Structure 1
Amino acid sequence: MKEKPALIVAIPGGAALAQSLAHSLNCDWTELAVHTFPDGETLVRIDAEVAARRVILAGSLHQPDGKTLPMLFAADAARELGASQVGLVAPYLAYMRQDHRFNPGEAVTSRTYARLLSSSFDFVVTVDPHLHRWHSLEDVYTVPARVVPSAPAIAAWVRGHVERPLIVGPDEESEQWVAHVARLAHAPWTVMAKTRRGDRDVSVELRDAGPWPGCTPVLLDDIVSTAQTMIAAAGALEREGWPPPVCVAVHALFDPEDFARLRGSGVSRVVTCDTVPHSSNGIALAPAIADAVRTLSASTPSTRHRTS
């Protein structure tokens, strides 16, 4: 029997991603219907036939607490309705930054969240998750997982939009990734030294001022939330006499106020990947995500957790 085409189901906020994936994978997509009752409980509904189809829930997991339960309800419903496989595409994967018990009594939520998602999905596809203490996604996720790298797309954008770029990482932790982007972009690179004293209390120092005459600095970071690191880094570059930097980030988590603060801090441009919907999105990763979904879905056994 010929397998039915896959179905992409957009979780809240994931419609653009679902549409792009469906176009690349030549399949249907639908938005997950979500209703919140007066008592705060949630009802979800998949308005499409799912029996004998590979169902892929799609959407970034920024602001995750309001999305996670509806997403898990939808995954369970898809299995009960006969889906042959249920996967998750979350370009931004939440709760990866709490990867250590920094203070007594804290929950290591990256591990807890991974157990929750691993029990509900057959595979997970994401983009550049925060892996500063975990060596790989498989250290915490027990289902097949694929990480789509943003470096090739970022490097291609830099080559096409910035003359004589100098790739600058805001801290030592970014060194390996920054060096990789710089190699792909055929550009020099350096990293800065960062001291963080709180969510909005950050200082950055340029350790190596060159010489890189005539270059345009490109500040590169993976996650931008309060934007304080980039603002501090831009200030450090200005004090050293560098021209206004181009700011490039993978995951745009900043709110409108923080985004406005970054744009007003003396930077020339702010560009992000389309992993989190934002007005700064300018680097498309959906085609690479679709390739990863195609490969991983085909190689992953179906119905690992089928409800009896």
Structure 2
Amino acid sequence: MIVIGGSSSKALAQDLAKELGVRYIQPNIARFPDGECYVRIEEEDIDDEAIIVQNSHPDSNLVELLLLQDAAVGLGARKITSVVPYFGYARQDERFKKGEALSAKVMVNLMEMTSKRLVTVDVHKPIVLDWFHGAAHDVHAAPSIGDFFKGHGIDLVLAPDEGAMQRAAEVGKVIGAEVDHLEKTRLSGELVRMAPKNVDAKDKNALIVDDIISTGGTIEAAANQLKIMGARSVTAVCTHGLFAKGALDRLRKCCNAVYSTNTIENDVSVISVAPQIAKAVRKQKKTNRLTDKISLRSGK
């Protein structure tokens, strides 16, 4: 088994190779003057299983992922596992309006052209992986986030809404902190109050846990409100730190600290999800071995 890191996921791919105890390969990635992607894996051959780590967002990363898959196959890789830390287009998992593209399914279909296994991290809706005809597994970042915040004095873990309570609960269990979710209360036509549903935040070190921070509007409003309510500190953490439109700078003004995992590499992506991905890869490999043994015994 070898690990190949795409340009969007070099650090995570290197972490994963260390976790698995296998060789890491950094391919040659370049752009032609017209913007097209050039990919070359500088090996004589790959007589092994290849794990390719690369995001499918934005579009340029998706193309690179597909080219990396093909390059590995061209060198003789026996099996391809695609680790897609941030799975782009996952939010379009149904045709909400007539004439729309079913984007999530298109992405899955593209990835399975050469890949037999797929691993994602906190994908928007895990049900989209049912479209993948090989082995597919969605990894939760919560255990890694919880491990990171052990000993940081967090008293209260908050989900941005009730639907995200499971993620917050997983983090809170690892830390040993209270868990609640934020609730929006409209006070007027323009004024909205965000506060914990059941727990008093006064004099507590609060941690807001989300899967994606894009523009950061919800986190910003929540952090400001928690400070008004007397929270000692407010820290924001997410799996996927997109931080669009200057979100990171704005959040740093209202939060005591901001962190993300390394599914998307940025200034605050200090939490590695490699241990969780490694567990999924080992689990898939073990399952395949058992399947192969059963097939041999049955003569198939």
Using structure 2 for the length normalisation, give the TM-score: 0.85
For 1:90-131, what per-residue CA distance to the aligned partner results, in whole angstroms no more than 9, with x for missing partners? 222221122233344322211211111122211011221112
Q: Report the Cα distance in structure 2 between the residues aligned to 1:23 and 1:210, rounded to whole angstroms.
A: 41
Classify 1:41/1:138 alpha carbon distance in 2 versus 1 (closer, same or farther; 3 Å).
closer
Q: Report the Cα distance in structure 2 between the residues aligned to 1:36 and 1:44, rounded to whole angstroms.
A: 9
For 1:118-177, what per-residue CA distance to the aligned partner results, in whole angstroms no more than 9, with x for missing partners? 22211011221112xx5x3532322211222222222223332124x1111111221222
Q: Report the Cα distance in structure 2 between the residues aligned to 1:40 and 1:158, rounded to whole angstroms.
A: 41
Instruction: Please give the residue correspondences for 1:74-113 in structure 2 after superposition, counting only pairs within 5 Å.
Output: 74-113=68-107
Q: Which runs of 5+ in 2 are unaligned?
A: 292-300
2:150 paired residue number: 159
Determine if contact 1:175/1:191 at 8 Å carries over to the other structure. yes
Determine if contact 1:202/1:228 at 8 Å carries over to the other structure. no
Decide which structure has greater helix share. 2
Give yes or no for the alignment of 1:178 onto 2:168: yes
2:133 paired residue number: 142
For 1:251-296, what per-residue CA distance to the aligned partner results, in whole angstroms no more than 9, with x for missing partners? 11114722101101x2111121222212212322212222322332
Classify 1:78/1:237 alpha carbon distance in 2 versus 1 (closer, same or farther; 3 Å).
same
Which of 219, 224, 241 is the matching residue for 1:252? 241
CA drift of 1:215 comes to: 2.1
Using structure 1 for the length normalisation, give the TM-score: 0.83
* Counterpart code for 1:24: E
Tell me the SS of whatever aligns to 1:160: coil
2:121 paired residue number: 127
1:262 paired residue number: 251
Q: Report the Cα distance in structure 1 between the residues aligned to 2:21 and 2:231, rounded to whole angstroms.
A: 47
Classify 1:206/1:103 alpha carbon distance in 2 versus 1 (closer, same or farther; 3 Å).
farther
Q: Which runs of 5+ in 1 are unaligned?
A: 1-5, 196-200, 303-308
Give yes or no for the alignment of 1:44 onto 2:39: yes
Instruction: Please give the residue correspondences for 1:185-204 in structure 2 after superposition, counting only pairs within 5 Å.
Output: 185-193=175-183
For 1:53-77, what per-residue CA distance to the aligned partner results, in whole angstroms no more than 9, with x for missing partners? 11111133342x0011222122123
Which of 206, 212, 217 is the matching residue for 1:223? 212
Classify 1:90/1:103 alpha carbon distance in 2 versus 1 (closer, same or farther; 3 Å).
same
* Counterpart code for 1:190: D
Tell me the SS of whatever aligns to 2:151: helix
The CA RMSD measured in Å over matched residues stands at 2.6
* Counterpart code for 2:267: S
Which of 251, 270, 282 is the matching residue for 2:270? 282
Which of 155, 159, 162 is the matching residue for 1:169? 159
Aligned length: 286
Q: Report the Cα distance in structure 2 between the residues aligned to 1:239 and 1:279, rounded to whole angstroms.
A: 28
Q: Report the Cα distance in structure 1 between the residues aligned to 2:129 and 2:241, rounded to whole angstroms.
A: 25
Determine if contact 1:194/1:202 at 8 Å carries over to the other structure. no
Q: Report the Cα distance in structure 2 between the residues aligned to 1:203 and 1:278, rounded to whole angstroms.
A: 31
Q: Report the Cα distance in structure 2 between the residues aligned to 1:192 and 1:184, rounded to whole angstroms.
A: 20
Tell me the SS of whatever aligns to 2:239: strand
Q: Report the Cα distance in structure 2 between the residues aligned to 1:35 and 1:248, rounded to whole angstroms.
A: 32
Tell me the SS of whatever aligns to 2:197: coil
Q: Report the Cα distance in structure 1 between the residues aligned to 2:288 and 2:87, rounded to whole angstroms.
A: 20
* Counterpart code for 1:250: T
